């Protein structure tokens, strides 16, 4: 359920102007048109952390499935129940015809997921967070949106926030993108995650060169497919000289969605060296520090599969599977640590939509994570949802 539906055209009518003035948009040109939309969603989750303690109630793992924090190696089960409406979101879009005859569009989108403020004790108040904020002019996109390395077509219909999380590219960040037909290229914000000796994670802010992506999307009858590539420089100051150590990272991703009747199959494979934070919500780091105090890129791979079957026009089932794994250097890791070797998730859901704008869903899933030390853990979850798009 990663994308919202656009609804409700607002023009510069008296009523529209009143709403827009509240949104501080009163200075827009008279020929600007506005879209406002989003959805309200309630999630109810019963989670069984089979091999360790459940995260604290404010943890992001209690809002959605995060592969890297599935507990491993613990004793006994830990059962929790959570309700939240934090995935609810809204967006505002604009389209303006400029004096030169060209059109400029903008998009701003927010929800309430993943923010650290708020609690479940009294008011359940949470700050909004910026998901997307970008403008498009001609063939160019400027701002924060989905990474050009990502394929949105392979995202499964899921009660969970993402569903095929472990094995896919899922990333939004600031960028400059050029698009021409099915081809697009971008430069995007760099950030390196590093595994130090003994395991763990260091987040570097030493990147200078932007990440570079290329993508082509094609169609053939009932098939939509994409191929993308990522080139990046991983950088971190690992010494005492003040100089950054760097290494080269790259990745390729292939995805497709094939429709037959009302049903469809979606699948993807992503692999590379130094992909790091792009795969599985930063399930693996991009590089590690070797014995010579230099950076070495970490190889990682992910796959995803989803099959959707419509029982009727209103009722459907999705079977979802995703897996991500890495080739960490054992010599540089403390094998009693928590460094992930692989993570996977299998889920089945039932979705009912009495109206295109209203959906109820139920999903049962099992996720499994294993560390480089051979210690594993399961997360079993039953999740329900109610969502209304406006």
Q: What pLDDT sits at residue 207? A: 80
Using H for helix, E for strand and C for coil, what is the string for the chain? Answer: CCCCCCCCEECCCHHHHHHHHHCCCCCCCCCCEEEEEEEEEEEEEEEEECCCCCCCCCCHHHCCCCHHHCCCCCCCCEEEEEEECCCCEEEEEEEEECCCCCEEEEEEEEECCCCCCCCCCCCCCCCCEEEEEEEEECCEEEEEEECCCCCHHHCCCCCCCCCCCCCCECCEEEEEEEEECCEEEEEECCCEEEECCCCCCEEECCCCCCEEEEEEEEEECCEEEEEEEEEEEEEECCCCCCCCEEEEEEEEEEEEEEEECCEEEEEEEEEEECCHHHECCCCCCCEEECCCCCEEECEEEEEEEEEEEECCCCEEEEEEEEEEEEECCHHHCCCCCCCEEEEEEEEEEEEEEEECCEEEEEEEEEEEEEECCCCEEEEEEEEEEEEEEC
* pTM for the full predicted model: 0.88
Q: What pLDDT sits at residue 6? A: 38
Q: Are 225 and 218 in contact (CB under 8 A)?
A: yes
Q: What pLDDT sits at residue 159? A: 98
Provide the 10 A C-beta neighbour count for residue 135.
14
Q: What pLDDT sits at residue 187? A: 98
Domain annotation for the chain: domains and CATH numbers: 9-384 (2.40.160.10)
Mean pLDDT per 10-residue section of the chain, whose length is 390 residues:
42 41 47 95 96 88 94 87 96 95 96 85 89 98 98 97 97 98 97 86 87 97 97 86 84 98 98 97 93 90 98 98 89 68 98 98 98 92 98
CA distance 356 to 353: 6
Q: What pLDDT sits at residue 117? A: 76
CA distance 207 to 236: 7
Q: Are 271 and 304 in contact (CB under 8 A)?
A: no
Q: What pLDDT sits at residue 290? A: 84
């Amino acid at each position: 359920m990663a994308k919202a539906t656009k609804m409700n055209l607002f023009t510069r009518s008296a009523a529209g102007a009143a709403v827009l003035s509240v949104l501080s948009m009163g200075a827009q040109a008279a020929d600007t048109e506005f879209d406002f939309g989003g959805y309200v969603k309630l999630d109810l989750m019963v989670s069984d952390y089979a091999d360790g303690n459940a995260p604290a109630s404010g943890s992001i793992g209690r809002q959605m499935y995060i592969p890297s924090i599935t507990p491993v190696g613990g004793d006994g089960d830990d059962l929790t129940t959570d309700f939240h409406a934090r995935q609810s979101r809204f967006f505002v879009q604009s389209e303006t015809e400029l004096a030169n005859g060209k059109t400029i569009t903008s998009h701003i989108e927010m929800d309430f997921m993943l923010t650290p403020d708020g609690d479940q004790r009294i008011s359940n108040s949470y700050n909004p967070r910026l998901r997307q904020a970008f403008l498009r002019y001609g063939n160019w996109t400027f701002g924060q949106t989905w990474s050009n390395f990502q394929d949105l077509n392979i995202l499964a219909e899921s009660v969970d926030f993402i569903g095929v999380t472990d094995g896919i590219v899922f990333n939004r960040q600031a960028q400059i993108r050029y698009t021409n037909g099915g081809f697009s290229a971008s430069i995007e914000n760099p950030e390196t995650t590093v595994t130090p000796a003994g395991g763990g994670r260091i987040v570097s802010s030493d990147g200078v060169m932007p990440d570079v992506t290329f993508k082509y999307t094609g169609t053939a009858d009932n098939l939509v497919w994409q191929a993308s590539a990522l080139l990046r420089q991983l950088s971190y100051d690992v010494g005492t000289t003040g100089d950054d150590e760097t290494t080269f990272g790259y990745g390729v991703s292939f995805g497709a969605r094939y429709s037959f009747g009302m049903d469809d199959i979606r699948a993807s494979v992503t692999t590379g060296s130094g992909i790091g934070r792009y795969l599985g919500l930063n399930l693996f780091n991009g590089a590690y520090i070797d014995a010579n105090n230099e950076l070495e890129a970490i190889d990682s791979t992910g796959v995803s599969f989803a099959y959707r079957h419509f029982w009727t026009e209103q009722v459907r089932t999705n079977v979802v599977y995703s897996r991500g794994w890495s080739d960490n250097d054992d010599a540089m890791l403390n094998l009693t640590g928590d460094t992930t070797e692989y993570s996977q998730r299998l889920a089945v859901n039932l979705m009912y939509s009495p109206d295109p704008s209203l959906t109820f869903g139920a999903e049962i899933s099992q996720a499994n994570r294993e560390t480089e030390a051979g210690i594993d853990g399961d997360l079993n979850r039953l999740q329900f949802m109610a969502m209304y798009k406006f």
